[in-house]
């Protein structure tokens, strides 16, 4: 029996999307869907939910929950990762509260910035444990990483862990639908080319029947920018740098030094920047689960509509050798020629029976590569801190982060990092 292992299966809604999709995929019938989570109550919830779904869909997949991670991974052909180390409480709260004492405000804090740095530092050791298990019990498995911070974690799994990894993010999939809906443009027949780094990939080309749609996109965006809306940061970046970026405005507000500045408070209202947005989302998600748990977990008639998640389509492509195109996060093996080879890039990839094959992009426009490199600097130094265990590289990563450096002095940055290390306590390995 072939096996798909889902790590972090207590994320029941996401597990339903990914594994419900697998249950609806003909080539995946008969697979074991192996569930693992450190929260045994949530693990049991997901097991019950997926067994109900299996009954409703008439799937021949087998659902099995494991409390031993190695057993869950043993013999797996595919592994899906959706963990969050430290959760909302205490770690995400810490990521926001300590920097706030220094006047450093964040919107999401899960990818770059000081929040992203510390999320990486507490997550990498856990993923290295996954990698050691995979090397021993399923060394040929493909690892689909959905966990943020995407670029650094995918890099660590590939280079340090030696695992066949591709990072998957919704931002490439949602880029055109969300942009065109906001601008009231029809998406049918649109062709695109997107490449860069995770959460900062660029809509390099957008055409219909060979006609460049960028002039019309920019015309409508300038009209829309006259009133406040949720995408003001991305539109501003497009006007200034020429291209639209894949990830949302609340994310990109904290990836650059231009939008959150203590000496220019008017920018917050002008660009509609939502501080502490990730905290609010986390609370809403916790409250929502409390009300929807019975509907999902104990619903014998639970149904499912196949989602837009890449996972099941990728598994199907590998099983059937029918090609499928994704936007994937992979090592930059010369794919984007003006970004560092040590970095993870987000590029079009072909998935088929041979696995995941990234495509060559070449040079990005120089201003876009320059923006990407400002984020890559912090990514690579965060990885260096994790690998060496040296505290100085945590400081380096934070000092080179565009948003942090725009707000704080060097002394403040170092002191804040020290406070964050202390506040995280046992959630972090020891640094010297």
Asked about 170 being catalytic, the answer comes back as yes
Nearest-angstrom CA–CA distance, 293 and 273: 32
Torsions phi, psi of 64, nearest 5? -140, 130
- How far apart are alpha carbons 22 and 50 in whole angstroms? 11
Of the candidates 177, 198, 201, 179, the one whose C-alpha atom is nearest the C-alpha of residue 188 is: 177
| Both structure tokens of 203 | 């809509």
Give residues with Cβ within 8 angstroms of 172, minimum separation 6.
194, 201, 246, 327, 346
Nearest to 355 by CA among 381, 328, 335: 328
Give backbone dihedrals phi and psi of 301, rounded to 5 degrees, phi first. -105, 20
Three-class SS of 2-58: CEEEEECCCCHHHHHHHHHHHHCCHHHCCCEEEEECCCHHHHHHHHHHHHHHHHHHC
Q: How far apart are CA 142 and CA 219, in angstroms?
A: 43
- 107 contacts 276 by C-beta, under 8 angstroms: yes
Residues 87-98 as b/e (b if ≥16 CB within 10 A, e otherwise) read: eeeebbebbbeb
Catalytic residue among 170, 304, 396, 403: 170
User: What are the structure tokens assigned to 167, written together?
Assistant: 């990072």
Active site residues: 170
């Amino acid at each position: 029996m072939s096996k798909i292992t889902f790590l972090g299966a207590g994320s029941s809604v996401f597990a339903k999307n990914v594994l419900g999709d697998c249950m609806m995929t003909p080539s995946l019938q008969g697979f074991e869907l192996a569930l693992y989570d450190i929260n045994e109550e949530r693990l049991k919830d997901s097991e019950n939910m997926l067994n109900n779904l299996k009954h409703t869909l008439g799937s021949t997949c087998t659902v099995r929950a494991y409390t031993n991670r190695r057993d869950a991974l043993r013999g797996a052909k595919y592994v899906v990762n959706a963990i969050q180390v430290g959760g909302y409480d205490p770690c995400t709260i810490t990521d926001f509260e300590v920097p706030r004492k220094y006047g450093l405000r964040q919107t999401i804090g899960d990818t770059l910035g000081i929040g992203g740095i510390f999320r990486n530092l507490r997550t990498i050791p856990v993923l290295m444990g996954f990698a050691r298990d995979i090397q021993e019990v399923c060394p040929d498995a493909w690892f689909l990483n959905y966990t943020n911070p995407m670029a650094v974690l995918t890099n660590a799994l590939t280079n340090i862990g030696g695992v066949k990894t591709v990072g998957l993010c919704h931002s490439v999939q949602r880029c055109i639908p969300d942009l065109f809906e906001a601008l009231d443009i029809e998406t049918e027949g649109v062709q695109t080319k997107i490449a860069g780094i995770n959460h900062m990939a660029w809509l390099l080309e957008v055409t219909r029947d060979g006609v460049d749609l960028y002039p019309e996109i920019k015309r409508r965006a300038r009209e829309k920018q006259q009133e406040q809306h949720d995408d003001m940061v991305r539109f501003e970046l497009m006007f200034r740098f020429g291209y639209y970026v894949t990830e949302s405005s609340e994310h990109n507000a904290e990836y650059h030094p231009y939008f959150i500045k203590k000496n220019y408070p008017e920018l917050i209202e002008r660009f509609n920047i939502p501080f502490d947005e990730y905290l609010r989302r986390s609370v809403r998600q916790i409250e929502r689960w409390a009300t929807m748990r019975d509907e999902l977990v104990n619903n014998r008639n639970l149904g499912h509509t196949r989602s837009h998640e890449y996972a099941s389509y990728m598994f199907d492509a590998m099983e059937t050798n029918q090609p499928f195109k994704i936007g994937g996060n992979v090592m930059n093996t010369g794919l984007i020629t003006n970004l560092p080879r040590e970095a993870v890039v987000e590029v079009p990839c072909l998935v088929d029976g041979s696995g995941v094959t990234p495509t060559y992009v070449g040079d990005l426009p120089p201003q876009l590569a320059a923006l990407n490199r400002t984020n890559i600097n912090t990514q690579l130094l965060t990885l260096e801190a994790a690998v060496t265990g040296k505290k100085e590289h945590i400081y380096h990563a934070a000092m080179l982060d565009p948003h942090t450096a725009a707000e704080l002095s060097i002394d403040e940055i170092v002191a804040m990092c020290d406070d964050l290390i202390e506040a995280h306590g046992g959630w972090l390995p020891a640094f010297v």
